[in-house]
Chain A
Amino acid sequence: DAGITQSPRYKITETGRQVTLMCHQTWSHSYMFWYRQDLGHGLRLIYYSAAADITDKGEVPDGYVVSRSKTENFPLTLESATRSQTSVYFCASNRGTGTTGELFFGEGSRLTVL
């Protein structure tokens, strides 16, 4: 059971470059989320998706783009990376049935923007 996987795990890029972080889940969970984690800020929601082709902004969406053409994939794109986007990015999924239920997190993608 592969669960939820993120790639790449580590990425170094330069300011202004486009970067895409991939997220894939094998459970067919309806909901998927992207969080960023920074010291002093905890986990902040960037974007989320309730189903394929349905996405919505979270708390800190500026500078990010998401898509969800298939239920199992939820890529996050930084169209023009900035140093302030250096962070650890976590993808998560949720069954989306009944009460909220638990979030299942991926291992994280550590992004450094030089």
Chain B
Amino acid sequence: GQQVMQIPQYQHVQEGEDFTTYCNSSTTLSNIQWYKQRPGGHPVFLIQLVKSGEVKKQKRLTFQFGEAKKNSSLHITATQPTDGGTYFCAGNSGGSNYKLTFGKGTLLTVNP
């Protein structure tokens, strides 16, 4: 079945440093989504990418979807303590069932 791999598993940064997490799928994706989960909380949707090579920005967050639609990245510029949490990518390989396969997530800790 479809597999979505995410690296790194953990990342500790000092406030102000940049952060990037990478997501790779074993199959071509129709779209990819990113979620953030704070400790003890539930995943919250950040963004969806659909087009090959698409780049979207949300303030200090930049999301990219690879040309082959098999990989994606999330980059955070000048991290802040509130950026801490686990970031998940989730891919959909198409079809009408709206099923998402989640990566295992990257836990980001931002030290003040």
Contact A43 B43 (CB under 8 A): yes
Q: List the count of A-B residue pairs having beta carbons below 8 Å apart.
A: 62
Q: State which of A65-73, A75-83, A93-101 sits at the interface with chain B.
A: A93-101
Per the bound structure, the CA–CA distance linking A105 and B42 in Å amounts to 6
Per the bound structure, the CA–CA distance linking A101 and B43 in Å amounts to 14
Contact B48 A103 (CB under 8 A): no
| Least CB distance, B102 to chain A, in whole angstroms | 4
CB-CB < 8 A to A56: which residues of B?
A: 97
Contact A40 B43 (CB under 8 A): no
Contact A42 B104 (CB under 8 A): yes
- Interface positions of B from 78 to 112, Cβ below 8 Å from A: 88, 90, 92, 97-105
Given A31-B98, A102-B33, 15 new contacts (CB under 8 A) = A33-B99, A42-B102, A42-B105, A43-B102, A44-B102, A45-B99, A45-B100, A56-B97, A90-B42, A99-B31, A100-B92, A103-B35, A103-B43, A105-B42, A108-B42
